[in-house]
Structure formats: C-alpha cells, structure tokens
Amino acid sequence: MTRRKLIAGNWKMNGDLAALAELDGIAAAAAANPGVDVAIAAPATLIAAAAGRGPDLAIGAQDVHAADKGAHTGCISAAMIREAGARFSIVGHSERRADQHESDAEVKAKAETLHRYGLNAILCVGETLEQRDAGQAKAVVTGQLAGSLPDGAGAAWLSVAYEPVWAIGTGRTPTVADVAAMHGAIRAKLRALIGEEADAVRLLYGGSVTGDNAMDLLGAGDVDGALVGGASLTAAKFVPIITAAAIIPA
C-alpha cells in the first residue's frame, strides 16, 4: 500500500498577517515536491488570507464546532472555515483535550461534521508522560482512537496524528523504534475498526519534529508524515521537513 507523505504545520495561536509571507516559501517547496502533500493549519483569523497562497498548499483550521450553526459563542463552524478557504481541520489536539476538556465523543462528532461539509480531518491522539511511565501508552492511544474515530472513517479524508503530549514543544522525541511500535499499534487498531481501509489511512507523527530529526522519524515504519508545530512557523524551518519527506520512499 503506497501512501503519499503529508507534512502538515500547526501554527497554534501564532502568526499574523505579516507572517503569511512565510507561506510563499512553503508553497514554493510544496510545488517543487509534488510527491508530498503540504498543509498548514492556520489560526482562524488567517485562514481566508492564507488560502490561495498556492494551489499546492492546503490551508486548514485547528478546530471546528460539531454543530452546523447556532448559539455557541466564540466557536467556528465547518461551513465558516470552508467558506474562508479551509480544506481541512485538526480535531482532538492534546492542547484542546487538556485546555478545553474535549472528550473523545466530541472529537468524533467534530470529525464527522467536517466530513459532512466535504472537509478533511487530522485526528490527534497521544499519551501523557505519566501514562507512558505507567506503561499505558498503547492502551491510552488506541483507546482514544477507538473513542474518537468518526463513523464512516475513510483514508480519502481522514489522517491520524500520533502526538505524545510530552514530546510537544519540548525538544524531546520518542525513539524511532517507539514511534514505529506505536504507529504499528494504531494501524492494527484501525484495521480492527475499519478493516482494509486502515491500510490507506495516513498516520502522522507529531512532537518536536525538526529538519534535523525528520529523516529518522519519517523513515520509521508506518509513519506517513508529520504534524509540526514550532518548526512550521517559518519557511526556513519547515521546508527542510518537506524536502526530507520527498526523499523517503513511500
């Protein structure tokens, strides 16, 4: 099964109109590496301005509400992000699971809403350091996956990102063997849940990915791309990750 590499950036609560200049270098790298899918999840305020910076660069959101519309002050709907030019959204990022207390059921509903609106989803899962130290990492991650996987999950619109919470923004990463083992466990769980379709679903690794470690992490078994935070904020840091993905055989 050949899966195209996907290198997605998550700008989190960073960036302003001036920062969009970085997208030009990123879009150029996307165009120069047609074997790699490149995406940026922008802050909601920048989606419209970021969309259309290059046909090879997909712009998305970092979250979406599960409801179509209504009395949800401060929230943003799938129709809204789509109209702004988003092609996808992240759902279930650990920062939202922690800060906004998002449950697996909410994350699942959000992913299903994205699909109804013709948008793609990057579904995040990952264990805390405490859970890893207690030997619960695989059980936690596969449990989150089972609880938050949308009905009708399909590889054409859904990717899964494994982001160990303790590796996010810390400069620490799991070993390549640990990443391969967890991605293998995620793939196996997906097979149990959705059958053969699981083999086409892209599994991204996220957590302190940089140009320096991208080759190793992207080369691990069952790793089909990366979800990148800090190193996605500038073209200088993000482009080397795109080019690393381009030279790793699918």
* Binding segment toward ligand 13P, per CB under 6 A, in 21-29, 186-194, 207-215, 239-247: 207-215
83 is catalytic: no
Asked whether position 92 contacts ligand 13P by CB under 6 A, the answer is: no
Q: Which long-range contacts (CB under 8 A, 24 or more apart) does 190-196 make?
A: 190/145, 190/149, 190/160, 193/145, 193/146, 193/149, 193/153, 194/149, 194/153
163 is catalytic: yes
For residue 32, give both structure tokens. 């120069």
Closer by beta carbon to ligand 13P, 62 or else 77: 62
Instruction: Please state the closest distance from residue 125 (CB atom) to ligand 13P, in A.
Output: 12
Instruction: Please state the closest distance from residue 202 (CB atom) to ligand 13P, in A.
Output: 15
Of 127, 107, 106, 124, nearest to 10 (Cα)? 124
Residue whose beta carbon is closest to ligand 13P: 229
**What number of other Cβ atoms are within 10 A of residue 34's Cβ?**
10
Per-residue x/- marks for ligand 13P, 6-45, CB under 6 A? ----x-----------------------------------
Closer by beta carbon to ligand 13P, 43 or else 188: 43
By CB under 6 A, the count of residues binding ligand 13P is 14
Give the integer Cα–Cα distance in Å for 135 and 127: 10
Instruction: Please state the closest distance from residue 93 (CB atom) to ligand 13P, in A.
Output: 6
Residues 152-191, interacting with ligand 13P (CB under 6 A): 163, 168-169
Q: List the catalytic residue out of 65, 93, 115, 183.
A: 93
Residues 213-242, interacting with ligand 13P (CB under 6 A): 227-231
CB distance 175 to 207 below 8 Å: no
Instruction: Please state the closest distance from residue 147 (CB atom) to ligand 13P, in A.
Output: 19
Which residues are known catalytic residues?
A: 93, 163
Q: Which residues bind ligand 13P (CB under 6 A)?
A: 10, 93, 163, 168-169, 206-209, 227-231
